[in-house]
Amino acid sequence: MLKKISLLLFLTLVSFTIFSQGRVGSPYTRYGIGDIYSCTSVRNLSLGGLSYTLPYNNDINFINPAATGQIDTLTFIFDFGMNGGVRKYSILEPEANHIKSDFQLTHLLFGFSVSKWWKTSIGLLPYSNVSYLIRANDTLLNVNKDYLYSGNGGVNKVFWNNSFTPIKNMSLGINVSYLFGKIYQSNAIDFDDDSGAYLNIVEQNTIRISDFAIDAGLNYTINFKSDNSLILGFVYGHNSELDSQRSTIVYNTLSTGSSAIVDTVYQSDKEDGTVGLPRKTGFGVGFNHNNKFFVGMDYTIFNWQNSKHFGISDSLSNGMDLSFGIEYKPNGFNEVSYNKFWEGVSYRGGVHFNNTYFALASGETLISDFGISFGLGLPMKRSKTSYNLSLQLGQRGTLENNLIKENYAIFGVSFNIADMWFVKSKYD
């Protein structure tokens, strides 16, 4: 047991070290608070993001707060995951392609039972990511100049999820999250002029976010004959206004290549404001056959249109997320014993489609994302511990209106360590 505790502490320390390294970059992260991670669990990702009604498989399903109530009474679960991807960005005018790879930690989760009717989970994961570098050139008025836009950083989330079972077959969950992080953004006009007749202008913003958010969920199971059941799920997240601070400086530099500041045009330090989050409403339905085969669908609406960034709307629109997934485990989702290895494997597949909250080209073009996914849950013999693998293939964006199309392939892996509390194993 001491070895397992030492391993958990080591992985926790490693996660804090690499949590913000190698995060995904996309030109679309320029808007709002960047790319929002609606789902990070490898099991969920391999099912197209399906989350609200998944049956228990010795893991932590934290997307629907009520689903934490499925954890076994004597089981302690630790889940640690990461992914890496290859992305190809394409534009039409001028025709060009750019390939980028990345790696990041996706989640660090702990889950356990407080009592028969109260289960809890705690986790650390990324909430959003900002990473972009955009250059545009023009020669208006016969002056050659570049418009430079860059940004990095993001928001992380620490959550405490509690699920209660007041009556049989129904769970209610509430999740309290602490969101924190820093986003750095820079906009500049850089003149290609050696005479010194023009002054470059640079605007730099640093935004620090630190506040709490609350969301809730419900799961209800309807049991039929022949070991079939229908699971209904519901999640709701309130449209929060996160307390934030913004520091801004606008200054001029010489166009002769020197980075020295000529004069400061404007400067403000620690300006208080808010960054808006959307109201989230999600529904899910799933069918479980003999606790071996599961098929389900989730539908989620994100009301971003009324969210503001320090009082200003930023090319945002309402978002929608649709997920469909299938999972099959020959020996049963809760079983750890099997005669042949492949009988204990979980086989997964899914499809997702969403309209992101970016509305570009004067609001005429919604940026959508479509993809398919596959995955496996690989067991360890005589143990509830498993290794999860996922592969996502998809496309985001469009070439219309001179926008950017992104094709991606993302591979994920997680280590799901489940052990019994206060029970001595019969095996070495």
240 three-state secondary structure: coil
Domains along the sequence of the chain with CATH: 2-420 (2.40.160.60)
Say what the alpha-carbon torsion angle 237, 130, 306, 358 is, to the nearest 10 degrees: -110
Per the listing, tokens 């596959």 go with 374
Amino acid at 388: N
Each residue's pLDDT expressed in tens, for the chain with a length of 428 residues: 445 544 554 555 444 444 444 444 677 788 888 888 877 789 999 999 999 999 888 889 889 999 999 888 888 999 999 999 899 988 887 788 888 888 888 899 999 999 999 999 999 999 999 988 888 888 887 888 889 999 999 999 999 999 999 999 999 999 999 999 999 999 999 888 777 778 889 999 999 999 999 999 999 999 987 789 999 999 999 888 999 999 999 999 886 566 678 888 999 998 999 998 889 999 999 999 999 999 999 999 998 877 888 888 766 778 899 999 999 999 888 777 777 888 889 999 999 999 887 766 555 677 889 999 999 999 887 778 889 999 999 999 888 887 889 999 999 999 988 887 655 555 44
Look at the alpha carbons of 398, 404, 405, 409 in this order and tell me if their dihedral is positive or negative: negative
Beta-sheet pairing, 199-223 with 241-254: antiparallel
Say what the alpha-carbon torsion angle 11, 16, 17, 20 is, to the nearest 10 degrees: 130
- pTM value is 0.87
Name the DSSP class of 55. Answer: P
